[in-house]
C-alpha cells in the first residue's frame, strides 16, 4: 500500500501568520489586520444594527468607524497595489528576472513608472479622508 506523500514547508504551517514576519513584513501586516478585521467587523455590524434601531450618539458611531477604517487600510493598500501589479504585468512591484522584464517591456512597453506611485497616492487620499472624518467629529 502506498503512503501519502507529505509536503514540508520551511516557513511553518499556513495557520501561523507570524511565520510571515521574517519573510515578508507587508504580508504579515496584511494578514494580521485581516484577521482582526474579521472579528471586529462582526461586532461593528451588530453595533451598526443597534445604532439604526435604537439610535446612538454620532461620536460613538464615528469612533467605531475610525477603528474600522484603520483596520481596513492595509487591505485597501494591497488591493490598489495588486491592480497596479496586474496592469503592468508584474513590472511595477514584481521581483522578476532581468530577461523576463526586458521581454515584457519589449512586447508590451514599460508603464511601471506610471503605475508604481498609484498605491501611495491612493493611501494619501485614504489618509486625507480619514483626517477629514476625524475633523468632522468636532463640528
pLDDT at 5: 73
pLDDT at 67: 92
Average pLDDT, whole number, for the chain? 80
Alpha-carbon span 15 to 56, nearest angstrom: 38
Query: Residue 101: is its pLDDT beyond 90?
Result: no
pLDDT at 124: 95
pLDDT at 114: 76
pLDDT at 20: 66
Mean pLDDT of 66-86: 88
pTM of the complete model: 0.71
| CB-based contacts of 123, cutoff 8 Å, min separation 6 | 73, 76, 77, 80
Amino acid at each position: 500500500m502506498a503512503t501519502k506523500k507529505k509536503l514540508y514547508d520551511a516557513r511553518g504551517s499556513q495557520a501561523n501568520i507570524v511565520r510571515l514576519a521574517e519573510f515578508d513584513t507587508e504580508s504579515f501586516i496584511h494578514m494580521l489586520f485581516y484577521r482582526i478585521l474579521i472579528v471586529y467587523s462582526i461586532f461593528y455590524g451588530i453595533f451598526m444594527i443597534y445604532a439604526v434601531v435604537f439610535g446612538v450618539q454620532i461620536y460613538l458611531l464615528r469612533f467605531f468607524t475610525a477603528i474600522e477604517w484603520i483596520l481596513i487600510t492595509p487591505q485597501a493598500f494591497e488591493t490598489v497595489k495588486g491592480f497596479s501589479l496586474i496592469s503592468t504585468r508584474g513590472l511595477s512591484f514584481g521581483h522578476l528576472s532581468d530577461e523576463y522584464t526586458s521581454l515584457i517591456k519589449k512586447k508590451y512597453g514599460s508603464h511601471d513608472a506610471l503605475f508604481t506611485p498609484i498605491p501611495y497616492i491612493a493611501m494619501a487620499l485614504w489618509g486625507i479622508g480619514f483626517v477629514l472624518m476625524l475633523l468632522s467629529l468636532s463640528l
